[in-house]
Structure 1
Amino acid sequence: MHTSASPRLLNRDKVEKTILLEAVRLFAECGFEGTSIATVAERAGLSKQNLMYYFPTKQALYQRVLDNVLDDWLARMASLADGDKDPGGVLRAYVAAKLRFSREQPLASRVYALEVIGGAKLYGEQIRRRVVPLLRADIAVFERWIGEGKIAPVNATHLLFAVWAMTQSYADFSAQMALVLDRDALQQQDFDDGAQLITAMVLAAVGLNQP
């Protein structure tokens, strides 16, 4: 029998979402060291003691934030794993998905970037455990395409590194881009233009033509 969630569970979910929303903002602005539990609690409208009922330590809160970021990021990368589809279509979808993440989750992207720039001291094991297997699966898809003559030989690892760097820069360095473009923030057209150019570069790298 299907039963709806209890009011207590619904309230817990609501409070956790509020905490995590404020935590992402603060970790993106101040990094792990510069963020305090007290400030997150104040921004979330809670006492420090109440927040610690949900997340007993700052590291537990940080871990949960990064878990959510990585869940979303990896879900958007999953399209590349389907090697049975047309390589051109798969690669276009992959670039588009990565740019959507940068557009929709810029703060989350910056939290992840700050952790990596700092040497991934607090989250390195999770990155190794979750990102490396997916990267290897994606490389296997490229090798299969190469073996079937569908794309030109390419160093898939470094091509993917390049795609990550190009697409994530639209979140991590959006302030610089906006300054150069003389506007307050990046617009949808900027992401569309970026998608067109990055896609063309990726397709050219594997010997496919942009229609």
Structure 2
Amino acid sequence: MNFSSKSGLEPGGKTRIQRQKRSEIFEAALDVFSEAGLRGATLDQIATRAGLSKPNVVYYFDSKEAIYRDLLEALLDIWIDPLRQISPEGEPVAEILAYVHRKLAMSKDMPRESRLFATEMIQNAPRISEVLQGDLKALVDEKAALIEGWIADGRVAPLDARHLIFSIWATTQHYADFDVQVRGVLGPAHEASRFDEAHAFLTTLYTRMLTP
């Protein structure tokens, strides 16, 4: 995950060294939180993983909750962005398939972030419920209306647009959130190819589902 100033995690006025230290703390915290969750994580663990002293971490963040909150805020924007990219100007089935592929790529490239987000959902999203019911809901409503328009025009097969989006989340994020299970069931022979296989399978699945 890129913890540059563009991520929203770096307030103005920070020196290069301060930005670097904050970035190291975020990277370490992402590892720890994705493994242990907020409840199981400690500042000591984060400091050790970052190669810093605990007082050094506390200099930048007064609590593990503060680090966790900033991570979630950055993650939410990154997680939502692929849905924003569905364009009304594109070919409908291709646009939805491209969304599926973007989400699967995120599971491959950002498994820690996916597991952190999943852990927050399992805990009833106490820190981001307002965003889920606000910005995310508004975006899903917008894209569902777009898909419903395509359905009405006969360009996408009839289906429930919101449940389509839910199914895309489920079938793509599964490969990150349940990675151990996927690798265990597929076995060593599929270790290097599992995402390519998932890409091919999901392309076939959604193409058949979406094509009028």
Q: TM-score w.r.t. structure 1 length?
A: 0.88
In 2, the alpha carbon distance for the partners of 1:111 and 1:64 equals: 12
Matched, 1:191 2:198: no
Residues 1:130 and 1:89: Cα distance change in structure 2 (over 3 Å): same
> 1:75 deviation in Å?
1.8
Residues 1:30 and 1:185: Cα distance change in structure 2 (over 3 Å): farther
1:74 to 58, 61, 80: 80
Q: Which moved more, 1:12-21 or 1:107-116?
A: 12-21
Give the SS at the match of 2:96: helix
2:93–2:156: 8 Å Cα contact kept in structure 1?
A: no
Equivalent residues in 2 for 1:195-206, closer than 5 Å: 195-206=199-210
> 1:196 deviation in Å?
1.9
1:14 to 20, 23, 37: 20
Amino acid at match of 1:88: V
Identity between Structure 1 and Structure 2 (%): 33
Residue ranges of structure 1 left out of the alignment (5+ in a row) = 1-7
In 1, the alpha carbon distance for the partners of 2:79 and 2:116 equals: 12
CA RMSD across the alignment? 2.0
1:180 to 163, 170, 185: 185
Residues 1:200 and 1:191: Cα distance change in structure 2 (over 3 Å): same
Residue ranges of structure 2 left out of the alignment (5+ in a row) = 1-13
Matched, 1:207 2:203: no
Matched, 1:57 2:67: no
Amino acid at match of 1:108: E
- 2:5 is matched with none
| Count of residues in correspondence between the two structures | 201
Q: TM-score w.r.t. structure 2 length?
A: 0.87
- 1:4 is matched with none
Structure 1 ranges of 4+ moved more than 6 A: none
